[in-house]
Structure 1
């Protein structure tokens, strides 16, 4: 009874009772499923790349402008370094409350910032891999760059208005990097000595650039992310980042405090001015666990489409003044079950959502 024999086709096996499996059951095998999952992933990446490239061709001007302004922001920070004059540290409540980490532990804040930056960057490209997605990567970075540009523009105006003596170790009195000699030519300024000129800058204090990026990333994930735990952890990391910046004496406390309310206000108002991104939520599953589940979902979708098609045909007949046969209508009601609920569901599905 339990012995299986090959059927007429090479890929089918049947029992003596006449039952058997064929075709899709092979996908459940580990090796075959890995190939199937890889093929599905590759198709998803190709389809997403095609869609994102189309958006990139339409929105490239704004994205390029945002990237160019990142260079302008770095150039402005380099320029204010020529104006910086070292002096005694200002009285600071955060310096009194937090112990100084020391120059040898200054990497802690940079390490956390690097982790936040890379994590957000990778997450922003997850629509290329995951089945569940809520946004287009191009449109997301368009908003992020808009937030960054608005915040950095305010930052440039602020640190050029007043130059404070830098609290960082390389900006204090006696350090060779605290002041820069006048540039020999314009090219020396335009090159901004990247990345050393960015890491060892002085004078660009109010408000913290690290906090601009951190808060923009955290707020963006808070709106478009889906994991509540990660949202809480991201806000916690933003708070820890603030404390590490003060403890490592890279900024005064006022630089961090101003960043907190300025960036949040900028994101709030700029986000309202920008058109809302379309919600691409289409399910929570990533890859199908097995073919049976996938086939079940496909059958449900086909049944729903078939039923909706019949209901919409009858709906259009009524709109056009044509009558529907009463006998046929009663049969449809008996087959479909709850007629009122199905009709409401069909009309709601047929109505497009605004984006």
Structure 2
């Protein structure tokens, strides 16, 4: 038993090392996209903190979701964050599964390049939207009387540029549209396309719907913030996904390390012609020659028999 465990551990370690080398090579070619995406995450956090300085608490706006869904209350506000954290962490773990699992379909670096492209586009639209109009926040810490409802005037530039987790948890003013929904929809749609488990896909969509309702019931966003996120994020992903090159599929146990471009395809075709490999490999099936005619195997016609009438 100990020998078997040791052998499996050795295979796992070799798999991790081989995958690490592959991903490092991909990262060396795509680090600009990863770094650019991470910088945009910081800019988004900076913009969300900046709009908090403009936030002015006021009466909660009339909202259909608030009327239909019972208010969870401040003591149960953690439920929606728990669902979001589960979706967030589950997706991150899935993107790193090629390091540990033999059967895999994606490259970690390439999938994150794609995810960051979706996030950046959606967050750019979000920044424009919530700076256009500041609504009174419906969350408990954004209401009149809360010490977090307004940010005091900053004493120095570092206070503005420093984005802390507390500021992200107690932000106000960045309402339309929901950032939680951006991350959740991008992650679920990405897994829906590149994941392999149908049951997990269905559960993921159910989790996003539940999270949407919990966000409204927790009074963290107005219903419009969630509704706008649903159609905006899906449309953005649909448009960008058509422009990006398709990821190589590893499920067949091979394939190119990176997706082929048109230039690479033309070079491959030229190389085949130079080597005398004309056309498809299907054209090189064994053929049989009968009475001066070349016929493919499986379609041999007995010409002489037909001529003799037998």
Q: Normalising to structure 2: TM-score of the pair?
A: 0.82
RMSD of the TM alignment (CA)?
2.2
SS of equivalent to 1:188? helix
d(CA) in 2 for partners of 1:159, 1:197: 17
* 1:98-125 CA distance string (max 9 Å, x none): 0000000000011111111110000000
Deviation at 1:340, TM superposition (A): 5.6
- 1:311 is matched with which residue? none
- 1:46 is matched with which residue? 17
SS of equivalent to 1:113? helix
In structure 2, do the counterparts of structure 1 residues 97 and 57 end up closer, same or farther at CA, with 3 Å as the change threshold?
same
Deviation at 1:282, TM superposition (A): 2.5
1:151 aligns with 2:117: no
- 2:28 is matched with which residue? 57
d(CA) in 2 for partners of 1:222, 1:152: 21
Range with greater deviation from structure 2 (37-46 or 226-235): 37-46
SS of equivalent to 1:223? helix
- 2:112 is matched with which residue? 141
- 1:224 is matched with which residue? 194
- Aligned runs of 1:107-186 on 2, under 5 Å? 107-186=78-157
- 1:276 is matched with which residue? 246
1:104 aligns with 2:75: yes
Range with greater deviation from structure 2 (137-146 or 176-185): 176-185
d(CA) in 2 for partners of 1:259, 1:116: 17
In structure 2, do the counterparts of structure 1 residues 317 and 190 end up closer, same or farther at CA, with 3 Å as the change threshold?
closer
- Aligned runs of 1:3-42 on 2, under 5 Å? 30-42=1-13
d(CA) in 2 for partners of 1:229, 1:318: 44
Deviation at 1:32, TM superposition (A): 2.2
* 1:232-262 CA distance string (max 9 Å, x none): 0000000000000000000000000000000
Unmatched segments (≥5 aa) in structure 1: 1-29, 284-315, 320-325, 331-338, 342-355
d(CA) in 2 for partners of 1:80, 1:130: 43
d(CA) in 2 for partners of 1:198, 1:318: 60
Deviation at 1:181, TM superposition (A): 1.4
Deviation at 1:31, TM superposition (A): 2.7
d(CA) in 2 for partners of 1:219, 1:93: 27
**Count of matched residue pairs:** 265
Deviation at 1:278, TM superposition (A): 0.4
Unmatched segments (≥5 aa) in structure 2: 254-275, 280-285, 289-296, 300-310
Q: Normalising to structure 1: TM-score of the pair?
A: 0.72
1:82 aligns with 2:48: no
d(CA) in 2 for partners of 1:257, 1:318: 54
d(CA) in 2 for partners of 1:126, 1:162: 41
